[in-house]
Amino acid sequence: MDKITSIRGFKDILPGETEKWAFVEEKAREIFTNFGIREIKIPILEKTELFTRGIGEATDIVEKEMYTFRDRGNEYLTLRPEATASVIRAYLEHNMHESEPLTKLFTIGPMFRRERPQKGRFRQFHQINVEMIGQKDPRVDAELMLMLVEFLSAVGLSNLKLEINSLGCPRCRPAFRETVISFLRGKENGLCPDCRRRLKTNPLRIFDCKVETCREIISLAPVILDFLCDECKEHFEKVKEYLTIFGISFEINTKMVRGLDYYTQTAFEVITESLGAQNAVAGGGRYDGLSKELGGEDFPGIGFAIGFERLISMMPMKKEDFVKHPRLFIAALGEDAQKFAFTLTNKLRMAGIRTEMDLSDKSLKSQMKRSNKLSCTYTLIVGQKELEENKAELRNMEEGTQETLELDNIIEKIETRIKGLVP
């Protein structure tokens, strides 16, 4: 019988790696909470209409990548391909605007897209999303980018570069769209098949294409900043002003677009050179029309997404740096000592001390090797003779020293040494 393996594009995250993930999540929760952002947990499964209306039917995600099926109630459901539409749906459904003029939310979890699996890209992937909903103030944009840079620095990324652009609004973007279409007319044969299709459905997505021939063609295209209305110009200038006040350096990338239809005005990416080559680690922007598109009032919003897998791959720390090793190993020799050690091990764990023992009753030499392999700080050695004499030997594995401890109140004695109260 063949062995069952995981689904293509779905990856196990194993011990040794999960500690690194936990560190990132803990740092995210710490920093985001400092900025007044609260966590929200959203369903993995949503009505398909949420994404066709929110993301846009002419996007690659909706056209080619979503996991959609019809359930037994004859309703079309979709595994979430991104988080923003779901967060806005929850914001509207629970009337969160009534309690907070600016609602700040973050969520961490898996997303699903049926892309072609390749290095660093999976069909189940994970994101950190932050959304600030309810105010159009450019200070909100700057604050969000400040926090993003702060978080990425805190998890060890260096040489960070912030790139920003404005995507305009429904008043000024149509003229730019028509100009781009006119520019590309006659150049269709140089575009990849996807971009030839995008030219008819969503031409601004061509700016986001990674195919070199498309990039060469679009590099000469008009830029959106030349088409901004007065309101969009003023908003973009204010964003740049507040970033400067924070001391955050940035570059204007006039070719930056966002892949989803709901983005307006501010768009941004953070690039890092942590691994020697430039890589985008996070991106986001303003989506002021999304809540209205989803059937709610017209609430402005801005947010970003960080690809968890990509972020982890860029962090300079090794996974060994995050493993929490046991503080104590109990080497027990003989049946009575094993019973004593088994009880003591679990009592110490309940007292908050990471403790391990060997259940196979191997030789002292083998158990000491096991303690070394686990990088334990101390090893408590106990056998039949020690039990009869009501004592045990505590060896400091780092210093190579050893002391004899009475078994009376042994938990408290071990606690004081491990917690550093006694040398």
What residue type is 240 in one-letter code? Answer: K
- pLDDT, residue 115, reads 77
What residue type is 280 in one-letter code? Answer: A
Per domain, the residue ranges of the chain are 18-172+228-319, 325-415
Pair 287, 259: CB distance under 8 Å: no
Total-model pTM: 0.86
Q: Looking at the predicted structure, is the pLDDT value of residue 422 above 70? A: no
> In 88-159, at which residue ranges do the beta strands (DSSP E only) sit?
103-112, 124-133
Task: pLDDT band for 311, please (50, 70, 90 cuts).
Answer: very high
More confident residue, 88 or 60: 88
Q: Looking at the predicted structure, is the pLDDT value of residue 420 above 50? A: yes
Q: Alpha helix (H) ranges present in 249-334?
A: 290-293, 308-314
- pLDDT, residue 360, reads 86
What three-state secondary structure class fits 123?
A: coil
pLDDT 10s digits, 328-384: 999 999 999 999 999 999 999 999 999 999 998 899 999 999 999 999 999 999 999
What three-state secondary structure class fits 286?
A: strand
More confident residue, 261 or 104: 104
In the chain, the percentage of residues whose pLDDT exceeds 70 is: 93
Of 398, 396, 380, 374, give the one whose Cα is nearest residue 325. Answer: 374
Q: Which residues of 282-304 are buried (b: 16+ CB within 10 A; e: fewer)?
A: bbbbbbbbbbebbebeebbbbbb
Beta bridge partners of residue 76, listed in sequence order: 70
- pLDDT, residue 261, reads 62
Task: pLDDT band for 423, please (50, 70, 90 cuts).
Answer: very low
- C-alpha distances (whole Å) from 369 to each of 97, 354, 375, 400, 411 are 59, 18, 10, 14, 24
Q: What is the mean pLDDT of the chain?
A: 90
Round to whole Å and give the CA distance between 285 and 227: 18
In this prediction, residues 261-268 reach a mean pLDDT of 85
Task: pLDDT band for 247, please (50, 70, 90 cuts).
Answer: very high
The reply to whether 18-172+228-319 and 325-415 are identical in fold is no
Task: pLDDT band for 50, please (50, 70, 90 cuts).
Answer: very high
Question: Which CATH code for domain 18-172+228-319?
Answer: 3.30.930.10
pLDDT 10s digits, 166-190: 999 989 888 988 998 899 888 888 8
Q: Please say whether the structural domain 325-415 has been given the CATH code 3.40.50.300.
A: no
- pLDDT, residue 188, reads 85
* Helices and strands of the chain, counted as H and E runs: 15, 16
